[in-house]
């Protein structure tokens, strides 16, 4: 049998040592009628060679963004990942270890999490980061719960321009726990400031904003911060694209209280939408309300610098029903990918990735709007993703370009916006890729 070490002979010796004759004797505590009388009906076992063939065949049924000219985003982005990232991930010491419960033999994991926390704090301008959440959506949901815990208020106000997937997950997390969600509709691709102003009151626990928002537009976080903090206790939660922070405001500049986001863009492949990882950073005054693991620097008995899980009194394995969250397994290896990525790219590399992405996106937007029938859907400034209005249904464009292996963007009709296409651009795009899309859009709309 694959992956099982003991031979039949060893099995027998061990059974004898335990004092039984056969394996079934060990099952005396299981009521006989529970025991399966016939095998379950899975396929027969594949050898390594056979499974390799099968998987390669299945993979070949997919068209990857390497084979295509893809402009898909909407939370998952095809940014460049240096080869060295994966070489670090494959080290068994990172790969097949578990949560660093025994600090003395887990310093590697603990230290990289500490370095990860430092980088997230530096990017966001915040004082403390946790060791990661499941994805951007669950990080946003947990931030809302955190705000309710801290403020003891239960009205959460959400900008209607956030990623609709975030909103879906937030609904699941907040229904039935006494939190009222108020979603402020969008106006011209940005959250409606008047509507927001009217909604924020003394019962408000938080305002959640995403910038750049789902449409790619940059929100006026400064104005929204003022509206939020006009209510005495309300916390300002902001979801951001970590790549954008290389060139855009650190959330501390607009006085965010909690910063969350999807971290996939930092060194993690698209992987059909998972695994992803969420980041969550805040200020020290909120530390005891935070969900998730946190690593702190400390000393060992000899006074040597070392690391340990800290502030554990918040967590489920200590506090059980009174914990700040139920999270146990997180997405540690994805956080490691992000840490190695940020280290390799460094200060200049992350700025390069951001600059290439936004300048190429602007080139593309400008050229597309020169085409007949195409226009920017909104006038707001954007970063690497933008929404265009299309002369024919977006779905039609997508279907027509598929044979050419061009994925022009996300059809926003599924989110209630007819004839709109959401287009994402990263540094991986060459001018020729952009020109190919422009040319093809022209062709498919000219009949």
Residues 80-139, interacting with other proteins (CB under 8 A): 80, 82, 84, 86-88, 90-109, 111-112, 114-115, 117-119, 121-123, 127-129, 131-132, 134-138
Nearer to other proteins, 105 or 230 (CB): 105
Verify binding: residue 2, other proteins, rule CB under 8 A. yes
Nearer to other proteins, 55 or 232 (CB): 55
Verify binding: residue 363, other proteins, rule CB under 8 A. yes
Residue count, binding to other proteins (CB under 8 A):
211
Nearer to other proteins, 166 or 374 (CB): 166
The distance of closest approach from Cβ of residue 203 to other proteins in the complex, given in angstroms and rounded to an integer, is: 20
Rg (CA), the chain: 25
Residue of 152, 320, 379, 447 that binds other proteins (CB under 8 A): 320
Verify binding: residue 217, other proteins, rule CB under 8 A. no
Q: Taking the mean position of all CA atoms in its chain, how far away is CA 235?
A: 22
Nearer to other proteins, 168 or 443 (CB): 168
Q: Taking the mean position of all CA atoms in its chain, how far away is CA 210?
A: 13
Nearer to other proteins, 341 or 374 (CB): 341
Q: Quote the CA–CA distance of 120 and 130 in Å, as a whole number.
A: 9
Q: Quote the CA–CA distance of 112 and 258 in Å, as a whole number.
A: 22
Q: Which residues does residue 155 pair with via DSSP β-bridges, in sequence order?
A: 180, 204
Verify binding: residue 241, other proteins, rule CB under 8 A. no
Find the binding residues for other proteins in span 186-205 (CB under 8 A).
none
Find the binding residues for other proteins in span 39-58 (CB under 8 A).
39-48, 51-52, 54-58
Residue of 286, 294, 406, 423 that binds other proteins (CB under 8 A): 294
Verify binding: residue 307, other proteins, rule CB under 8 A. yes
Give the binding range for other proteins (CB under 8 A) out of 30-38, 149-157, 201-209, 371-379: 30-38
Residue of 152, 329, 379, 416 that binds other proteins (CB under 8 A): 329
- Residue 104's contacts (CB-CB under 8 Å, 6 or more residues apart) are 300
Q: Quote the CA–CA distance of 434 and 261 in Å, as a whole number.
A: 27
Verify binding: residue 393, other proteins, rule CB under 8 A. no
Residue of 157, 209, 239, 333 that binds other proteins (CB under 8 A): 333
The distance of closest approach from Cβ of residue 232 to other proteins in the complex, given in angstroms and rounded to an integer, is: 27
Assign 128 to helix, strand or coil: strand
Q: Quote the CA–CA distance of 331 and 275 in Å, as a whole number.
A: 7
Residue of 21, 202, 285, 430 that binds other proteins (CB under 8 A): 430
The answer to whether 278 and 259 are in contact (CB under 8 A) is no
**What are phi and psi for residue 377, nearest 5 degrees?**
-70, -30
Handedness of CA 128, 134, 137, 142 (dihedral sign): negative
Burial class (CB in 10 A: 0-12, 13-18, 19+), 37: exposed
Structure tokens, 363: 């080139």
Nearer to other proteins, 60 or 416 (CB): 60
Verify binding: residue 353, other proteins, rule CB under 8 A. yes
Verify binding: residue 392, other proteins, rule CB under 8 A. no
Nearer to other proteins, 231 or 308 (CB): 308
Verify binding: residue 209, other proteins, rule CB under 8 A. no
- Residue 158's contacts (CB-CB under 8 Å, 6 or more residues apart) are 167, 170, 181, 182, 183, 184, 207, 208
Nearer to other proteins, 59 or 416 (CB): 59
Find the binding residues for other proteins in span 160-179 (CB under 8 A).
163, 165-166, 168-169, 171-173, 175-178
> Looking up tokens 């980041």, which residue turns up?
279
DSSP letters for 417-439? -TTEEEEE--TT--HHHHHHHHH
Q: Quote the CA–CA distance of 374 and 193 in Å, as a whole number.
A: 28
């Amino acid at each position: 049998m694959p992956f099982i070490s003991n031979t039949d002979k060893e099995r027998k010796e061990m059974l004898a040592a335990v004092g039984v004759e056969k394996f079934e004797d060990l099952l005396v505590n299981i009521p006989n009628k529970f025991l399966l009388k016939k095998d379950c009906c899975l396929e027969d076992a594949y050898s390594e060679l056979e499974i390799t063939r099968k998987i390669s065949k299945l993979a070949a049924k997919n068209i990857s963004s390497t084979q295509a000219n893809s402009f898909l985003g909407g939370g998952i982005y095809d940014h460049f990942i240096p080869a060295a990232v994966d070489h670090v991930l494959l080290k068994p010491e990172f790969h097949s270890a578990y949560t660093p419960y025994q600090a003395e033999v887990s310093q590697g994991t603990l230290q990289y999490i500490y370095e990860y926390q430092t980088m997230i704090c530096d990017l966001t301008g915040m004082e403390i980061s946790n060791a990661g959440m499941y994805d951007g959506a669950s990080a946003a949901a947990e931030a809302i719960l955190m705000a309710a815990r801290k403020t003891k208020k239960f009205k959460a106000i959400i900008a209607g321009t956030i990623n609709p997937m975030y909103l879906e997950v937030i609904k699941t997390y907040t229904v039935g726990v006494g939190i009222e969600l108020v979603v402020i509709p969008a106006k011209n691709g940005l959250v409606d400031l008047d509507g927001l102003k009217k909604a924020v009151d003394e019962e408000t626990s938080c305002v959640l904003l995403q910038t750049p928002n789902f449409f790619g537009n940059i929100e006026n976080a400064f104005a929204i911060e003022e509206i939020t903090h006009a209510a005495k206790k309300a916390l300002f939660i902001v979801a951001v694209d970590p790549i954008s922070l290389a060139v855009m405001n650190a959330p501390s500049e607009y006085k965010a209280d909690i910063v969350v986001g999807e971290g996939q863009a930092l060194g993690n492949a698209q992987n059909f939408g998972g695994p992803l990882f969420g980041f969550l950073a805040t200020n020290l005054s909120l530390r005891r309300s935070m969900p998730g693991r946190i690593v702190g620097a400390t000393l060992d008995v000899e006074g040597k610098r070392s690391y340990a899980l800290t502030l554990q009194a918040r967590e489920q394995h200590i506090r059980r029903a009174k914990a700040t969250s139920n999270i146990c397994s997180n997405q540690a290896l994805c956080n490691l990918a992000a840490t190695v990525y940020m280290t390799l790219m460094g200060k200049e590399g992350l700025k390069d990735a951001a600059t290439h992405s936004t300048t190429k996106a602007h080139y593309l937007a400008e050229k597309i709007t020169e085409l007949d029938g195409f226009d920017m859907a909104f006038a707001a400034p954007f970063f690497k993703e933008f929404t265009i209005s299309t002369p024919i249904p977006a779905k039609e464009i997508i279907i027509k370009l598929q044979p050419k292996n061009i994925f022009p963007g996300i059809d926003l009709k599924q989110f209630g916006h007819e004839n709109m296409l959401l287009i994402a651009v990263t540094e991986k795009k060459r001018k020729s890729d952009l020109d190919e899309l422009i040319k093809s859009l022209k062709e498919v709309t000219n009949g």
